[in-house]
Structure 1
């Protein structure tokens, strides 16, 4: 059986977590400072919620969300269009042997939180919880 690029074990290693957090912080700084030469991207306020790296640290997936959750596809398109420049700028601020390939995805954490709150607010669920 072929070995997957993604860690299917108990979870990411300490090194993966540390590098992911470094990339998340640096990417947030780059996007906030407007270091990318794309006016469409620089006018957007984008939150970087999480970054996950593969075990070999060659691919980093950044989970992002535009402020207010509006224009998600437009933000993803702008990030993907400028991926190579973002990678170049990120690599200057990180002390890694190789700059990882950056992929972007929408962070759906807040949507899941809203759905969970909605479920707990449902009368049937509230009744079941109160009966315990």
Structure 2
């Protein structure tokens, strides 16, 4: 097996450290937004959920997946957060006690849309019929073709 190229997103997945720091940033970001600690009137008028934070292996870039309450105006929320990226980065660095606060990038969280699409797919009549069909290969033997 050949080694993966640096920066390739297909690998063993995030390390425990990446997951731990990503979750710390997610909780801190949620807390900052909930408490209104960022001085922006447009941001204060929005209730934003931080669903996930993915961080690069060098901990230099954190991608925050966000969604406003109600699921509307996601692009507007991303623009407002990007506009306040410097202040958020400074606050996160201070509150998390990180040596280097990562660059923050924001994307609309589409996981709820994907869940709805999956649910709709599983509820389709042809899929339900296939799922309800009993397996014909119940004796444990594989097809010998």
TM exceeding 0.5: yes
Contact 1:7 1:55 in 2 (8 A): no
Across the aligned residues of Structure 1 and Structure 2, the Cα RMSD in angstroms comes to 1.4
Matched, 1:3 2:6: yes
Q: 1:47 aligns with which of 32, 46, 49?
A: 49
Structure-2 separation of matches of 1:39 and 1:19: 29
Contact 1:44 1:66 in 2 (8 A): yes
Following TM superposition, by how much is the alpha carbon of 1:3 offset from its aligned partner in structure 2, in angstroms? 2.1
TM-score between both structures, scaled by the size of structure 2: 0.86
Q: How does 1:14-29 map to 2 (within 5 A)?
A: 14-29=16-31
Structure-2 separation of matches of 1:58 and 1:11: 17
Following TM superposition, by how much is the alpha carbon of 1:88 offset from its aligned partner in structure 2, in angstroms? 0.9
Contact 2:93 2:99 in 1 (8 A): no
Summarize the Cα distance change of 1:49–1:55 in structure 2 as closer, same or farther, 3 Å threshold: same
Which contiguous aligned blocks of 4+ residues in structure 1 show a shift greater than 3 angstroms?
A: none
Note the residue ranges of structure 1 that are not aligned, 5 or more in a row: none
Deviation string, structure 1 residues 33-89 (Cα, Å, up to 9, x no partner): 000110001110000000010000000000001101011111111001111111111
Q: How does 1:26-105 map to 2 (within 5 A)?
A: 26-105=28-107
* Structure that is richer in helix per residue: 1
Contact 1:63 1:105 in 2 (8 A): yes
Pick 1 or 2: higher relative contact order, CA cutoff 8 A, min separation 6: 1
Following TM superposition, by how much is the alpha carbon of 1:97 offset from its aligned partner in structure 2, in angstroms? 0.9
Note the residue ranges of structure 2 that are not aligned, 5 or more in a row: 135-145
- Report the count of equivalent residues: 131
